[in-house]
Amino acid sequence: MNNNVRVSLVIALAIGLWFFSGLFVSSSTESNATPAAAKLTVVEAAWSEVQDYAPQLVLRARTEANRSVDIKAQVAGRIVAVPGAEGAIVKAGEAICQIDGEDRERRLQHARAALKQADIEFKGVQKLKQGGYQSELAIAQARTRLESARVAVERSSLDIANLSVKAPFDGVVERRPVEVGDFVQPGQLCAQVVELNPLKVTAVATERDVSTIALERQAKVTLASGESLNGAISYLSRQADPITRSFRVEATVANPQLDVLAGMSASLQIVGEPVKAHLISSSLVLLDDAGHLFVRAVDENGIVSSLPVINVGESESGVWVSGLPDRVALVTIGQNYVTDGERVTVSYRDQSSAAGVADLANNSSSKTSSGIE
């Protein structure tokens, strides 16, 4: 074997050793890197359990009089008395305006006398008919005169009764544009009376919210002053406003002292049907790319999943959401750093209620970013 062959063999052996050494180093590196790559993300979670929640719908509203009536004169005449002053509280049947009777009493007496005469004539005609001395035409004419006399008496009696313009219900005299000495014609306004007990509270509901409202549902009215009144839904429109596409809602509340006035701003809080929901912190709720709400949960195997939720209400402790299982472990710390299907290391807090989840998440909100506020 010559020197060239020996040199070639030495070079080939060196190259082979270099290749084999690279394989060993690579295998050693991969085996050392496997534990680091296998390290799992650590998150905290807490158990949340479903609860009964009565959602509450809050609408902007205003107070209104339960009834408002314009009381008008029914006979012509001069005003001789106005016992119902503006702002006065009146009872049903109390006089507000008094019209001069003039000669209406004499007209009534005359009508009664005419009625008595017509009655005597009719009875006489009937007796003559029995003897065959009176025609059917004469009898019909006598009956007509009798009925006309009765109508005249009733008309005169009504005119006298209408001289006193009275309140149709218990209320407050809001307006009284006439004074003593004014002359009024039939149909002219004498006074406006409003009923403030009970008081009506009106609001408008959207197409989405109107389906959650029902008649006789309990409602709470909060005035701008902070005063609260309790009542019930008394009216719900069945036809939307053609312009706003909203529905009129009315509630009735007691106002025995008449201290709440009509036209005041208020908020109408309506209690809805109870639903199953979880109370969680708002910091646990995230938004996906489509703008839908979801929360991250972890199962018993440490696998993360995203669960869609629906916001059904809010409170001082957090938000009420539906769409979750009856009992679920929610990720409270680290939910922004994990993805669906990822296996994580879970540290559980001993929280068995949804309120506990909300408190825990509120304490940790400074460490995580929130999907919604």
pLDDT digits (tens, 9 = 90+) for 153-192: 999 999 999 999 999 999 999 999 999 999 999 999 999 9
10 Å CB burial of residue 57 (0-12, 13-18, 19+) is buried
pLDDT on residue 36: 43
Judged against a pLDDT cut of 90, whether residue 134 lies above it is answered with: no
Pairing mode of beta strands 164-166, 171-175: unpaired
Q: Band the pLDDT of 128: cuts 50, 70, 90.
A: confident
pLDDT on residue 121: 87
pLDDT on residue 359: 45
pLDDT on residue 126: 81
**Three-state helix/strand/coil letters over the chain:** CCHHHHHHHHHHHHHHHHHHHHHHHHHHHHHHHHHHHCCCEEEEEEEEECEEECCEEEEEEEEEEEEEEEEECCCCEEEEECCCCCCCEECCCCEEEEECCCCHHHHHHHHHHHHHHHHHHHHHHHHHHHCCCCCHHHHHHHHHHHHHHHHHHHHHHHHHHCCEEECCCCEEEEECCCCCCCEECCCCEEEEEEEEEEEEEEEEECCCCHHHCCCCCEEEEEECCCCEEEEEEEEECCCCCCCCCCEEEEEEECCCCCCCCCCCEEEEEEECCCEEEEEECHHHCEECCCCCEEEEEECCCCEEEEEECEEEEEECCEEEEECCCCEEEEEEECHHHCCCCCEEEEEEECCCCHHHHHHHHHHHCCCCCCCCC
- Cα–Cα distance, 275 to 54 (Å, whole number): 6
Judged against a pLDDT cut of 70, whether residue 277 lies above it is answered with: yes
Among 87-96, 136-145, 345-354, the least confident range: 345-354
Q: Band the pLDDT of 29: cuts 50, 70, 90.
A: very low
Q: Band the pLDDT of 54: cuts 50, 70, 90.
A: confident
Higher pLDDT: 15 or 109? It is 109
307-318 burial: b if 16+ Cβ within 10 Å, else e: eebebbbeeeeb
Among 36-50, 255-269, 317-331, the least confident range: 36-50
Pairing mode of beta strands 41-49, 344-349: parallel
Question: Which residue type does 64 have?
Answer: E
pLDDT on residue 127: 78
pLDDT on residue 7: 60
Average pLDDT over residues 249-261: 93
* CATH class of the domain at 102-162: mainly alpha
Return all residues near 323 (Cβ < 8 A) that are at least 6 apart: 307, 308, 309, 310
Judged against a pLDDT cut of 90, whether residue 35 lies above it is answered with: no
Average pLDDT over residues 112-118: 92
pLDDT on residue 45: 92
Q: How many residues comprise the chain?
A: 373
Higher pLDDT: 366 or 127? It is 127
Distance of CA 252 to the CA centre of its chain: 12
Listed by start position, the domains of the chain span 42-52+276-364, 58-63+195-271, 102-162
Average pLDDT over residues 69-73: 94
Average pLDDT over residues 226-235: 93
Higher pLDDT: 260 or 14? It is 260
Q: The domain 58-63+195-271: what is its CATH number? A: 2.40.30.170
Q: For residue 77, is it left (φ>0), alpha (ψ between -120 and 50) or beta?
A: left
pLDDT on residue 230: 93
Judged against a pLDDT cut of 50, whether residue 193 lies above it is answered with: yes
State percent of the chain over pLDDT 90: 57
pLDDT digits (tens, 9 = 90+) for 320-372: 999 999 999 999 998 888 889 999 988 887 544 334 444 434 443 333 333 33
Average pLDDT over residues 40-53: 90
Q: Band the pLDDT of 204: cuts 50, 70, 90.
A: very high
Tokens of 99: 């019209």
Judged against a pLDDT cut of 80, whether residue 150 lies above it is answered with: yes
Pick the closest to residue 152 from 186, 118, 102 (CA basis): 118
On average, the pLDDT of the chain sits at 84
pTM strictly above 0.75: no
Judged against a pLDDT cut of 80, whether residue 26 lies above it is answered with: no
- Cα–Cα distance, 291 to 114 (Å, whole number): 87
State percent of the chain over pLDDT 70: 83
| Whether domain 42-52+276-364 has CATH 2.60.40.10 | no
